[in-house]
Amino acid sequence: MPRHSILLVDDTATNRVLQRTVLEAAGYEVEEATTGAEALERLQARPYDLMILDLLLPEMDGFEVLEAWRGLSRPGEMPILVMSALGDEEARIRALRLGASDFLLRPAGRAELMARVAGLLRAKTLQERLDEAFNKLTAMGRASEVHLAELNALGVLLSDPLPSLVEQIRAASRPGRDPDVIAAMERVDGAFRGSVFLANGQRIEVLMDCGAGRGGRVPTYTQPIIGVWKAGDEREAPWVACLLKALEPAVSEVRNLSFCITPGIALASGNYPEEPDSLNAEVVRGFALHWEFVKRMSALNREIEEAFEYTISALSRAAEANDPGVGAHLKRVNAYCRELAEAIGMPPHFVRTIAVQAQLHDVGKIQISMDLLKKPSRLDADEYEVMKAHTWHGAHILGDHPRLQMAASIALNHHEHWDGTGYPRGLRGAEIPLEGRIAKLADVYDALRSERPYKPSMAHRFAIEAIFRGEGRVAPEHFDPELLDALRRIAPRFNEIHEEFAKMNAPDASREEPSGTDPSA
């Protein structure tokens, strides 16, 4: 363990020799300064664990040194023992107010000097550990906030949590005392697979297979295992050998480790500047358990999300159960909406939600007569009014549950027009919710591309021309200009999506000339 360093500031050579002899005999590293200016210069050049300061110095006295150092340092960063023959009450109080940690009147005996030094260094160590514990708790809280925010927003962790976990582990240590090596692994098929993160930012994939070369026997455990290892300790202890075998090919030398192994996670920090202890191991344990908890919550939320999405899909299919091509249509509308939302820079939660819930845009057709839905010719005015009511029916069916808020908005607003000529409320421009504007463009494109009882399908080129130039009841004024700009950029992707889902729908009979039929009944 590194020796404690002490800066001895005194202009009297005899005092320095006596004190240095006593301190070095006790194992301390001692450096000297003979003036206040020299002391401040040394303090700014390197850190010390303790300063022993005489008040009676030439040019710049000890009080001035205390005042100057107080302006340069963090309170409590380094204890200061004032040791001086100037021992009246006023001098002692002034020194303590300027930041001295203790005052020892000269001459002082060897035993009292060593007791004061040991006490101040012990207090400094305890304060550092308290600061480290606070930093670690703060870092763990920040990691939890990041992951909880992502779980709340998306239901799953879309980003890799390991880089942020490693960053918080490093942030939990005092500067200069953080580990150089952090290994994070998950159990996969009986072995642990993951990455080693080095201090230089390099990430190396590793495998820890405790069965290999050990007679196929893996250490058994039901509770998290935590431990500390340092060079010179037993290398064949359970899990230590496994960790070293996994890490040493990626790291030139492993000098020490603190680790935690759970049934699904292995997390280890290594090559600390100082030997790790039980506090380091507990910190690693805390982060390992946090990581495993987040993983389990993410998996559980994913199962819930999949069940929710399946229910949405089933409800949307029920709305158009007599249409053999509805499955592909619904999935295509979802995909078009996702592409448009990404193209205009919407956040991941919005993109994910619209990519699932857009398929409910026509759920209100459940309450529309099947004869009307499958009428092979154009609807008359009265029939069209009945058909328009499916927007209100859809919003009513979906209700006001927060999880279905976007779906209800899409069902109600996907026939509104940017120029205010749409239905059911005749909203104009930004009055139309964005999700409704996106679903409007996606649904019209897919309607143009699809065969209906009253019209044939269009090829991609003609469908795009109809949207940008107008045809029949389709006009560019119906669409959000920002979304039209996005469609111009990603139009080839729309065609790719249609082709990808072609097998899920009846073959479209592409034609050579566009017609004036209305696709948006």
Q: Are 257 and 266 in contact (CB under 8 A)?
A: no
Whole-angstrom Cα distance, residue 273 to residue 253? 13
The tally of domains found in the chain comes to 3
366 belongs to a structural domain: yes
Bigger pLDDT: 500 or 132?
500
Q: Are 141 and 108 in contact (CB under 8 A)?
A: no
Judged against a pLDDT cut of 90, whether residue 124 lies above it is answered with no
In this predicted model, what pLDDT tens digit does every residue of 428-477 receive, in sequence order? 999 999 999 999 999 999 999 988 766 788 999 999 999 999 988 899 99
Judged against a pLDDT cut of 60, whether residue 214 lies above it is answered with no
pTM beyond cutoff 0.75: no
Same domain for 495 and 354, yes or no, is: yes
Amino acid 115: pLDDT:
92
Same domain for 213 and 247, yes or no, is: yes
Amino acid 326: pLDDT:
63
Judged against a pLDDT cut of 70, whether residue 518 lies above it is answered with no
CATH number at residue 200: 3.30.450
Same domain for 387 and 499, yes or no, is: yes
Judged against a pLDDT cut of 70, whether residue 178 lies above it is answered with yes
Q: Pick the last residue of a domain from 77, 108, 139.
A: 108
Same domain for 338 and 479, yes or no, is: yes
435 belongs to a structural domain: yes
Same domain for 386 and 497, yes or no, is: yes
Amino acid 368: pLDDT:
84
Output the DSSP codes for 388-402: HTHHHHHHHHHTT-G
Whole-angstrom Cα distance, residue 500 to residue 417? 29
Amino acid 367: pLDDT:
86
Judged against a pLDDT cut of 50, whether residue 270 lies above it is answered with yes
pLDDT-above-90 percentage for the chain: 39
Judged against a pLDDT cut of 50, whether residue 509 lies above it is answered with no
Q: Are 415 and 423 in contact (CB under 8 A)?
A: yes
Amino acid 220: pLDDT:
58
Amino acid 84: pLDDT:
84
213 belongs to a structural domain: yes
Place of tokens 């006295």: 61
Same domain for 145 and 206, yes or no, is: yes
pLDDT band at 273 (very low <50, low <70, confident <90, very high): confident
Amino acid 315: pLDDT:
78
Bigger pLDDT: 140 or 409?
409
Judged against a pLDDT cut of 50, whether residue 506 lies above it is answered with no
Judged against a pLDDT cut of 90, whether residue 408 lies above it is answered with yes
CATH number at residue 326: 1.10.3210.10
401 belongs to a structural domain: yes
Q: Pick the last residue of a domain from 254, 280, 295.
A: 295
CATH number at residue 39: 3.40.50.2300
Quickly count: other Cβ atoms within 10 Å of residue 205's Cβ. Answer: 10
In this structure, what token pair is assigned to residue 173?
């240590």
Q: What is the largest CA-CA distance in the chain?
A: 113
Phi and psi at residue 184, in whole multiples of 5°?
A: -130, 120
Same domain for 341 and 276, yes or no, is: no
Lowest mean pLDDT among 79-83, 149-153, 223-227, 478-482: 149-153
Same domain for 133 and 104, yes or no, is: no
Residue range of the domain that includes 392: 320-504
Of 191-205, 248-262, 484-498, the range with the highest mean pLDDT is 484-498
Whole-angstrom Cα distance, residue 307 to residue 440? 27
In this predicted model, what pLDDT tens digit does every residue of 95-121 receive, in sequence order? 999 989 899 888 888 899 999 999 999
- Average pLDDT value for the chain: 83
pLDDT band at 149 (very low <50, low <70, confident <90, very high): low
518 belongs to a structural domain: no
Whole-angstrom Cα distance, residue 438 to residue 483? 7
Same domain for 75 and 213, yes or no, is: no
Q: Pick the last residue of a domain from 108, 137, 160.
A: 108
If residue 229 lies in a helix (H) or strand (E), which one and from where to where? strand 225-230
Bigger pLDDT: 172 or 17?
17
Judged against a pLDDT cut of 80, whether residue 82 lies above it is answered with yes
Amino acid 325: pLDDT:
54
Judged against a pLDDT cut of 50, whether residue 127 lies above it is answered with yes
236 belongs to a structural domain: yes
In this structure, what token pair is assigned to residue 219?
């250490």
Same domain for 226 and 368, yes or no, is: no
pLDDT-above-70 percentage for the chain: 82
222 belongs to a structural domain: yes
Same domain for 466 and 385, yes or no, is: yes
In this predicted model, what pLDDT tens digit does every residue of 412-436 receive, in sequence order? 999 999 999 999 999 999 999 999 9
Quickly count: other Cβ atoms within 10 Å of residue 84's Cβ. Answer: 21
123 belongs to a structural domain: no
Lowest mean pLDDT among 231-235, 267-271, 312-316, 485-489: 312-316
Of 77-86, 124-133, 156-165, 235-244, the range with the highest mean pLDDT is 77-86
Q: Are 120 and 98 in contact (CB under 8 A)?
A: no
Same domain for 359 and 463, yes or no, is: yes
